[in-house]
Structure 1
Amino acid sequence: MPAEEAEATVTAFMLVKTTPEWLAMTVQERADAFTTQVLPVIKARTTGVRSRFYDTEFYSARVTDVWVWEADDHHAYQLLIDALRETPFWDRYFKVVDLLVGAENGYARAYGLDPVATITT
């Protein structure tokens, strides 16, 4: 698909730090809390949102996890943030340290260029 026709998705790198309340739970309690208190709210309030999670606590004291959220558009991303803020995820289990939001290859779309990326095999 040419750069000018590519649909831009919104990608958010959410840098978070675990709280003492989260760390006091067992691993199973954490999994249960996420699947019963956070995921249902996200699923009920949003569509077109995907996520990936990266542990960083071995390398950073300020940020323990990076959650990568990809949304089909800005509205889906806004609904995601609204949903997360209504769960214990936001400021109870995790402190949101920073949000870095962008559109992949935005420069290419802006200038009608093909994206430049490195691929190694």
Structure 2
Amino acid sequence: MPADGTRVTAFMLVKTTPEWLAMTVAERVLAFTTQVVPVIEARAHGVRSRFYDTEFYSARVTDVWVWEADDHDAYRLLIDALRETPFWDRYFHVVDLLVGIENGYARTYDLEPVATLTT
């Protein structure tokens, strides 16, 4: 994480396209690992991702991809890279992007973050 704490988290809400769903699982893995991942790795650094399936709870959004970038520039480079791959609007429609900074309010008001922890 950068010294100034400007890590950016983006919740990318996407919906699969008929083209993506027409592929077999093996074809999807091959497409993602050969057409999308290399472009991200070549263009964006300091970005991590996690993927959540939501199609069994939502008809509008089939997946939520969480991207954590070290800063706004790394996030911008990620989006630029994704837009140059079949991921963007060919395999998935980007329904919405929710981008934020964790505990931004605490940084703004010089407060300790409020969080819950249950066991």
TM-score scaled by structure 1?
A: 0.94
Say if 1:16 and 1:65, in contact at 8 Å, map to a contact too: yes
Residue number in structure 1 paired with 2:101: 103
Residue number in structure 1 paired with 2:40: 42
Matches within 5 A, 1:12-91: 12-91=10-89
Report the 3-state secondary structure (helix = DSSP H, G, I; strand = E; otherwise coil) of the residue aligned with 1:114.
coil
Query: Deviation string for 1:57-80 (max 9, x for gaps)?
Result: 000000000000000000000000
Say if 2:6 and 2:72, in contact at 8 Å, map to a contact too: no
- In the alignment, the residues of structure 2 paired with residue 120 and residue 31 of structure 1 have an alpha-carbon distance, to the nearest angstrom, of 36
The amino acid that maps onto 1:14 is M
Gaps of 5+ in 1: none
Q: How far apart are residue 6 of structure 1 and its match?
A: 5.7
Q: How far apart are residue 119 of structure 1 and its match?
A: 1.0
Moved over 4 A (4+): none
Q: How far apart are residue 120 of structure 1 and its match?
A: 1.3
- In the alignment, the residues of structure 1 paired with residue 58 and residue 97 of structure 2 have an alpha-carbon distance, to the nearest angstrom, of 16
Say if 1:8 and 1:106, in contact at 8 Å, map to a contact too: no
Gaps of 5+ in 2: none
Question: Percent identity between the aligned chains?
Answer: 83
Q: How far apart are residue 8 of structure 1 and its match?
A: 2.2
Q: CA RMSD in A?
A: 1.0
Aligned length: 117
TM-score scaled by structure 2?
A: 0.96
